[in-house]
Amino acid sequence: MSTQLQRSEQETDESPQEQRLERKRFDESEREAQRTEEESTGDETPYVHLKVFRYDPEVEGKREPHFDDFRVPAPQGTTVLDALMYARDEFDSTLTFRHSCRQAVCGSDALFINGSQRLGCQTQIQDLDQRPVRVEPLPHQEVEKDLVVDMEHFYDQMEAVEPYFQGETPDEEEQLQSRENREKVKMSTRCIWCGACQSSCNIAAGDNEYLGPAAINKAYRFAMDEREDDDIKQHRMNILEQEHGVWRCQTQFSCTEVCPKDIPLTEHIQEMKREAVKDNLKFW
Amino acid sequence: MSQSHNRGLIEDFGRWREFAPGMWAWIFHKFTGWVLIGYLFTHVAVLSTAISGPQLYTTTLRSLESLLLVRVLEVGLLAVATFHIMNGIRLLFIDLGVGLESQDKSFYASLVLTGAIAVASVPTFLSGAF
Ligand code: HEM
Ligand code: SF4
Ligand code: FES
Confirm or reject contact between A262 and chain B (CB < 8 A).
no
Name the residue range of residue B31's domain: 19-35+66-124
How confident is the prediction along chain A (284 residues), in pLDDT tens digits per residue? 344 444 444 444 566 677 777 777 777 776 666 555 455 555 578 999 999 999 999 888 888 999 999 999 999 999 999 999 999 999 999 999 999 999 999 999 999 999 899 999 999 999 998 899 999 999 999 999 999 999 999 999 999 999 999 987 777 777 888 999 999 999 999 999 999 999 999 899 989 899 999 999 999 999 999 999 889 999 999 999 998 999 999 999 999 999 999 999 999 999 999 999 988 887 65
CB contact under 8 A, A252 and B2: no
Per-position b or e across A179-205, b if 16+ CB within 10 A of its CB: eeeeebbebbeebbbbbbbbbbbbbbb
Residue B82 domain-assigned?
Answer: yes
Structural domains in chain B (count): 1
What are the two backbone dihedrals, phi and then psi, of residue A141, each rounded to the nearest 5 degrees?
A: -130, 150
Beta bridge partners of A136: A112
The span from the CA of A82 to the CA of B77, in Å, is 52
For this complex, say whether ipTM is above 0.95.
no
Residue B8 domain-assigned?
Answer: no
Residue B55 domain-assigned?
Answer: no
CB contact under 8 A, B18 and A115: yes
**DSSP structure class, residue A104:** S
pLDDT of residue A48: 94
Per-position b or e across A80-117, b if 16+ CB within 10 A of its CB: bbbbbbbbbeeeeeebbbbbeebebebbbbbbbbbbbb
**Which residues form ligand 1's pocket by a CB distance below 6 Å?**
A 250; B 29-30, 33-34, 36-37, 40, 84-85, 88-89, 91-92
Interface test with B, best of A19, A111, A253 (most B CBs within 10 A): A253
CB contact under 8 A, A144 and B2: yes
**DSSP structure class, residue A161:** T
- Which domains does chain A carry? 46-149 (3.10.20.30), 151-164+179-283 (1.10.1060.10)
Beta bridge partners of A143: A149, B5
CB contact under 8 A, A116 and B11: no
State how far Cα B5 lies from the chain centre: 38
Beta bridge partners of A73: A47
B40 CA: distance to closest CA in chain A (Å): 24
Residue B31 domain-assigned?
Answer: yes
Using a 10 angstrom Cβ sphere, with 0-12 exposed, 13-18 middle and 19 or more buried, the burial of residue A58 is exposed
B9 CA: distance to closest CA in chain A (Å): 7
Contacts across the A-B interface (CB distance below 8 Å): 82
Q: Which residues contact B74 (CB under 8 A, 6 or more apart)?
A: B125
A52 CA: distance to closest CA in chain B (Å): 15
CB of A188 closer than 8 Å to CB of A243: no
- B88 CA distance to ligand 1 middle (Å): 6
Residue B108 domain-assigned?
Answer: yes
CB contact under 8 A, A254 and B22: yes
What's the CA dihedral at A14, B103, B11, B8 to 10 degrees? -100
B95 interaction partners in chain A (CB closer than 8 Å)? 251, 270, 273-274
Residue B53 domain-assigned?
Answer: no
Instruction: Indicate the residue of B3, B5, B15 with minimum beta-carbon distance to A115.
Output: B15
**C-alpha distance across the termini of chain B, in Å:** 70
- A272 CA distance to ligand 1 middle (Å): 22
pTM: 0.84
Residue of B nearest to A17 (CA): B101
